[in-house]
Amino acid sequence: MALDKLNARILRRTPGPKELFDRHIKRGYSSICANSLENIGHQMTVAAGEIEDVGAFADSLSENRIGIMSIPSAQVRECSRRQARCFAVRCEQMIRPIRVSWSFSGPQFVDESGHMGHNIAMKYLIFLLTFSSTTLWASTPKVELILQRDDVIWGFDFFKNGRIVFSERGGKLAVYDPVKKATTVLAGTPLVFAKGQGGMLDVRVHPKTEEIYFSYSEPVKGGATTALGRAQVRDGKLVGFRKLFSAHEPNSNTIHFGSRIEFKDGLIFLTVGDRDNRHKAQDLSFHNGKVLRLTEDGAPAPGNPFAKKAGAKPEIWSYGHRNPQGLVLDAKTGELWEAEFGPRGGDELNLVKQGLNYGWPVITYGREYYGPKIGEGASKAGMEQPVVHWTPSISPSALTVYRGSRFPEWEGQFFLACLSGTRIQRVKLQNGKAVEQEILLADQAARFRNIRTGPDGYIYFSTDDGKIGRVYR
């Protein structure tokens, strides 16, 4: 069977747990490859040397009625067991690790530099695909539409009773009741600067008090700035609204406000973009281009790294950021992760640590929109490197670390909501490096604005065309 014909017969991705492999392959071999086969049918890399005797492994596949495909000849011995058909791909004469990504057009072999092809570099690769005419085990992620509005849904979060509070960039805060399937637009919201990228931005529910904290573009003399507010939600309106913080300094630009909110240990992290004054991201006397750490009342948090530095803003936790619109606390590790837009390329995923400089605009993997390089290059002593960077840009507007029971194969992995990338980007890290990436929901053709792991363990997202959706399988 030719490779293209085989691809045409694969109707959907059907990733399954490691138990699927154990059911079809002798346990001796599955235990050897256990670390590489956690995401069967999704993506996996078997490094050279993990399977000492590939021939014996292939024989085991055959004995257990699993088809064997060799590349490039694509000769296939095909046989079935129950309703599933399985194929193992054996790639020879390869030198360096590659990753396998899956799309409806078939498998793609991609080297670490991002180049595609079948003559890439690794000694052996075993790739197990399982599929049938019906869905077996897990299947391609599906989307359930929760809510449709007419404006950009910039942020959302969950109350304990299951209601969803969300922000619309045009200036509204609203609550959706999934039981009544009804939306209530809240009265009493502050005036926002709803121009360009400005407006009502992120919204979060305090994990204990259930007050809402929200960031917004505040109209002030000289233009606008990023601000943080707090209020209770009661009887369809905001009660006790208080502006907690306003970033220095405002300007008339309409871009790069940030801004995401995260809670940790009774404190608040807030991101602020460089407001298109890029040099201020390196200047500690401004909030531009910073991750801030505040008390729940908006004051500088005790122990901030620059609190005693003359002229520095005491709220600053880290600096050298361009436009950080993604921020998430890993509930298991306690690590704070941030995603930000580069210019033309150079989007970043960063592990945010106290007092560190993340480089913008001195170092970046991106370029000016009209072509020239920016700053001094891609690295410099004393400035942090991103954990992952993307060129071309994917425009990561939000991120979540998956911790839940609905998708055990995704435990601890990152999901980024992408605007220009019009997708959700899945990233698996191992020892501080990306070992897998996958594009999800590209068929939705949406600008994904926000993404969160819901209290029910599903992944929720919002889009610029006014949707809130839920990913399930």
Q: What is the spatial distance between Cα 421 and Cα 297, in angstroms, rounded to a whole number?
A: 36
pLDDT in tens, the chain (473 residues): 333 333 333 333 333 334 433 433 333 322 222 223 232 333 333 332 333 343 444 444 333 333 332 222 222 222 222 222 233 333 332 222 323 333 323 333 333 333 333 332 233 333 333 322 222 234 578 999 999 999 999 999 999 999 999 999 999 999 999 999 999 999 999 999 999 999 999 999 999 999 999 999 999 998 999 999 999 999 999 999 999 999 999 999 999 999 999 999 999 999 999 999 999 999 999 999 999 999 999 999 999 999 999 999 999 999 999 999 999 999 999 999 999 999 999 999 999 999 999 999 999 999 999 999 999 999 999 999 999 999 999 999 999 999 999 999 999 999 999 999 999 999 999 999 999 999 999 999 999 999 999 999 999 999 999 999 999 98
List the catalytic residue out of 256, 287, 321, 389: 256
Residue 38 DSSP label: T
Q: Catalytic site residue 256? A: yes
Asked whether 307 and 313 are in contact (CB, 8 A), the reply is: no
Whole-number pLDDT of residue 111: 33
Here the tokens at position 279 are: 């040099």
> pLDDT at position 141, please?
85
Indicate the length of the chain as a whole number: 473
pTM for the model stands at 0.73
Q: What is the pLDDT of residue 186?
A: 98
**For residues 213 and 191, what is the distance between their CA atoms, to the nearest angstrom?**
15
Give the CA dihedral 384, 390, 391, 392, nearest 10 degrees: -140
pLDDT at 249: 95
b/e string for 301-316 if b means 16 or more Cβ within 10 A?
Answer: beebbbeeeeebbbbb
147-180: burial string, b at 16+ Cβ within 10 Å, e else: bebebbbbbbbbeeeebbbbbbbebbbbbbeeee
Domains assigned to the chain? 3-131 (no CATH), 142-472 (2.120.10.30)
**pLDDT at site 473:** 83
Phi and psi dihedrals of 103, rounded to 5? -140, 175
pLDDT at position 118, please? 35
**Alpha-carbon gap, residue 340 to 350, rounded angstroms:** 8
Give which of 324, 325, 320 is closest to 376, Cα–Cα.
320
Q: Can you say how many angstroms the Cα of residue 88 is from the centroid of all Cα atoms in its chain?
A: 30
User: Tokens standing for 88?
Assistant: 């193992």
- What is the separation of C-alpha 172 from the centre of its chain, rounded to a whole number of angstroms? 25
Q: Is the peptide bond before 249 cis (omega within 30 degrees of 0)?
A: yes
For residues 249 and 286, is the Cβ–Cβ distance under 8 A? yes
CB–CB of 16/41 below 8 Å?
A: yes
Region of 247 on the Ramachandran plot (φ > 0 left; ψ -120 to 50 alpha; else beta):
beta
